[in-house]
Structure 1
Amino acid sequence: MDNEYNRYYIKIQTILGINPKTIHEELATALGPKAPSYPTVAEWMKTVTSRWIPHQLNDVQKQERVRLCRENLAKFRDGSWRLCDIITGDETWIYHRQIHHKSANKTWIGEGESPLIIVRRRKFERKNLFSIFFKSNGPVLIHAVDNDETIDHDYYIENCLKPVVKEIRKQRKSNGTKGIKLLHDKPSPHRHSYIINYLTEEGINIIPHPPFSPDLAPCDYWVNDYIKQNLTDQPDEKSLTRAVSKLIKNIPEEEFKKTFDKLLERMKLCINNHGGYFEHSIK
């Protein structure tokens, strides 16, 4: 068993929630002195956990995930909520220079050929923060945050939420914000009382979202990765903003709809998995 197979085995065991000590012992039993060391196993596990297991959930957090998924699903099932009324948004860092995932760099090397040189990201790569909101029929807001700005509650209201509300009223001239629900995660600015009060005044309800749950957030499980996988290198902030905006606006409406349909499927998976992370069960 070479390193590629070792890594694959470690990835699968990590996704299944097996701890590094047990994984190392299993490899040592099977491979003897050829097994990777415990520090190597732990290091390789980081490449999996950084994507698939962002947080080690405790029992209380798992129970909260199940509770909220059940409550939210019930409202969709009884017609109280509709997917077409949901707006979701989040912030994400986007680099000017794009580097593909390691899996995209795999290739066969013929006899006598040199392996490809894999470009790695430098420590201080240029990047910009974006705040992106969308609905099941397409984007609502694509906002590039100035490099000298910090997203606090005031900035979030003035530069993100108010433009979102304006766009919703433009799209829904008859109903405005009536029935609109906002799904966003819970970093400090999003939880501020000013934000809650502003959304209440605008008639927008916040969908309860459990902490440490990127697997239940459409921005995290779809659009952020979509952007980074399809974006080309950009020389400066303006070109990056234009490219990101064009890329998102060119996504077919059907893809947005499918992403929200998957949200309901993911809630069911969370419940079936007793609140644990479930990415390993998605084909």
Structure 2
Amino acid sequence: MCAAISIGEKMASARNDHLMKQCSVIEFLTAEGCSAVVIHKRMKAVYGDACLTEVHLGYRKVSARWVPRQLTVEMKAQRKTICTQLLERFTHDGERFLRSIITGDESWVHHYDPESKMQSMQYRHKNSPALKKFKVIATARKVLLTIFWDMEGIVHIEFLEQGTTINSERSVSTLRALKGRLRRVRQDKVKDVVIQHDNARPHTSR
């Protein structure tokens, strides 16, 4: 075992020395003003398959992650201010502040209820024929769901009627319905509630 470890260490040391030499060559060619393409061709011609690659350097090709939009300096400053205020409230009120938060969101839902893979599982004998499950195609009919929840669970659910859109009047109506719902299921939160919602235009218009 000791001999095997010693051989492995020697191989790793030799490999590292080989890579370090190639790094020195790259630095020399870069100092001479050679482009990356020229350096790669010359390195490939000398070292062949042992040529240093991005894998050895710890690099990998990745795609940019989509984000909703690029924030301006003012937007970043505003978000920082809001986050600071939230932290200050949490420092002062603790869990009481967290319990006062009600989060709202919207999502499109289809007119069918897909069964999950776990839900469709059954106990079968090894000689039983394989189960077949027909794929359900999502229909074109869908409806916009508005939902509000807090630490205890769902507070209010609302579906947008066909042919209507979300505007400022609709948002006000939804908030009134939420307030009425709070009076029934969260009586302790009617006067002390913090709504966490996105800043879509219907939600912020006055």
TM-score (normalised: structure 1): 0.39
Where does residue 79 of structure 1 map in the other structure?
Answer: 93
Q: Report the identity percentage.
A: 28
Shift of 1:177: 1.2
TM-score (normalised: structure 2): 0.52
Q: SS at the partner of 2:63?
A: helix
Where does residue 178 of structure 2 map in the other structure?
Answer: 164
Where does residue 17 of structure 2 map in the other structure?
Answer: none
Where does residue 19 of structure 2 map in the other structure?
Answer: none
The within-5 A match list for 1:205-244 is none
Shift of 1:147: 2.2
Residue pair 2:100, 2:189 contacting (<8 A) in 1 also: no
Where does residue 15 of structure 2 map in the other structure?
Answer: none
- Larger Rg belongs to: 2
1:169-210, CA deviations, whole angstroms, 9 ceiling, x for partnerless residues?
Answer: 11244x4611111111111111122xxxxxxxxxxxxxxxxx
Where does residue 89 of structure 1 map in the other structure?
Answer: 104
Greater alpha carbon shift after TM alignment, 61-70 vs 160-169: 61-70
Shift of 1:155: 1.6
State how far apart, in whole Å, the 1-side matches of 2:81 and 2:194 are.
Answer: 19
1:6-58, CA deviations, whole angstroms, 9 ceiling, x for partnerless residues?
Answer: xxxxxxxxxxxxxxxxxxx9xx9749xxxxxxxxx8xx836x41xxx222233
For 1:68, the aligned partner's letter is I
Change in CA separation of 1:126 and 1:86 when aligned onto 2, cut-off 3 Å: same
State how far apart, in whole Å, the 2-side matches of 1:54 and 1:155 are.
Answer: 24
State how far apart, in whole Å, the 2-side matches of 1:130 and 1:165 are.
Answer: 18
Answering whether residue 147 of structure 2 is matched by residue 132 of structure 1, we say: yes
State how far apart, in whole Å, the 2-side matches of 1:150 and 1:185 are.
Answer: 17
**What stretches of structure 2 of length at least 5 have no aligned partner?**
1-35, 41-52, 56-60, 115-134
Output the aligned Cα RMSD.
3.3
The within-5 A match list for 1:133-148 is 133-148=148-163
For 1:168, the aligned partner's letter is L
Change in CA separation of 1:74 and 1:133 when aligned onto 2, cut-off 3 Å: same
Residue pair 2:155, 2:185 contacting (<8 A) in 1 also: no
Q: SS at the partner of 1:45?
A: coil
Structure in which a larger fraction of residues adopt helix: 1
State how far apart, in whole Å, the 2-side matches of 1:63 and 1:153 are.
Answer: 26
Change in CA separation of 1:96 and 1:171 when aligned onto 2, cut-off 3 Å: closer
Q: SS at the partner of 2:93?
A: coil
1:118-161, CA deviations, whole angstroms, 9 ceiling, x for partnerless residues?
Answer: x9x99x94321111111110111111111211111212222x21
Change in CA separation of 1:98 and 1:54 when aligned onto 2, cut-off 3 Å: farther
